[in-house]
Homo-oligomer: A and B are copies of this chain.
Amino acid sequence: MSKYWSEAIQNLTPYVPGEQPKGSNIIKLNTNENPFPPSPKVAEAIHQFDTDRLRLYPDPDASALKQTLADHFEVAPDQVFVGNGSDEVLAHTFMAFFRQPKPLLLPDISYSFYDVYCNLYAIEAVHIPLQDDFLLALEDYTQANGGIIFANPNAPTGRALTLDQIEVLLQRNTETVVVVDEAYVDFGAETAIKLVNQYPNLLVIQTFSKSRSLAGMRVGFAIGNAELIEGLERVKNSFNSYPLDMLAQVTAIAAIEDNQYFLECTQQIIQTRDWTTVQLESLGFKVIPSKTNFLFTSHRYIAGAELMGFLRTHSILVRHFSRPGIDNHLRITIGTESEMQALIDCIKRHPDIISL
Interface residues, chain A, with chain B CB atoms under 8 Å away: 2-9, 12-18, 20, 22, 28, 31, 33-38, 42-43, 46-47, 49, 51-60, 84-85, 87-88, 91, 95-100, 116-117, 119-120, 175-177, 200-201, 209, 213-218, 227-228, 230-231, 233-248, 251
CA distance A57 to B213 in the complex (A): 10
Tell me whether B84 and A55 are in contact (CB under 8 A).
no
Tell me the complex Cα distance, A147–B302, Å.
54
CB distance from A322 to the nearest CB of B (A): 18
In-complex Cβ contact of A51 among B43, B84, B241 (8 A)? B43
Tell whether, in the assembled complex, residue A55 and residue B214 are in contact, meaning their CB atoms are under 8 Å apart. yes
Asked if B5 and A97 sit within 8 Å, CB to CB, the answer is yes
- From B37, B84, B242, A240 is in contact (CB under 8 Å) with B84
Q: A4 touches which one: B58, B117, B201, B238 (CB < 8 A)?
A: B201
Not counting A9-B235, A53-B216, A218-B244, a sample of 6 additional A-B residue pairs whose C-beta atoms are within 8 angstroms of each other reads A4-B177, A4-B227, A6-B95, A31-B57, A119-B238, A245-B248
Docked-complex contact B17 and A238, CB < 8 angstroms: no
Q: Which residue of B has the minimal Cβ distance to A1?
A: B227
Check A240 against B88 for contact (C-beta < 8 Å). Answer: yes
Chain B residues near A38 (CB-CB < 8 A): 51-52, 54-55
* CB proximity of A300 to chain B, nearest CB, Å: 32
CB of B215 within 8 A of CB of A57, answer: yes
Contacts of A28 in B (CB 8 A): 56
Query: Which residue of A38, A99, A241 has the most chain B CB atoms within 10 A of its CB atom?
Result: A241
Number of identical monomers bound together in the oligomeric complex? 2
A239 to B18, CA, bound (A): 16
- Residue ID in chain B nearest A51 by CB atoms: B43
Select the residue from A47, A53, A247 with max chain B CB neighbours within 10 A: A247
CB <8 Å contact, A98 and B57? no
B231 touches A4 (CB 8 A): yes
Query: 11 A-B Cβ contacts within 8 A?
Result: A4-B177, A4-B201, A6-B96, A6-B100, A17-B57, A46-B46, A46-B49, A47-B47, A87-B242, A119-B238, A218-B243
CB atoms of A239 and B120 under 8 A apart: yes
Residues of B within 8 A of A55 (CB): 33-38, 213-216
Residues of B within 8 A of A233 (CB): 14
A116 pairs with B201, CB closer than 8 A: no
Across the A-B interface, give the 7 residue pairs with the lowest CB-CB distance, nearest first.
A14-B237, A54-B216, A37-B52, A6-B99, A43-B51, A216-B246, A55-B213
Are A60 and B91 in contact, with the CB atoms below 8 A?
no
A230 near B54 with CB under 8 A, answer no
Contacts of A227 in B (CB 8 A): 2, 4
Contact of A46 among B58, B238, B247 (CB under 8 A): B247
**Distance from A245 Cβ to chain B, minimum over Cβ atoms (Å):** 4
A1 to chain B, nearest CB (A): 9
Chain B residues near A116: list those with CB within 8 A: 238
**B residues less than 8 Å from A52 (CB atoms):** 37-38, 43
**Are A234 and B12 closer than 8 Å at their CB atoms?**
yes
Residue numbers in B under 8 Å from A236 (CB-CB): 14
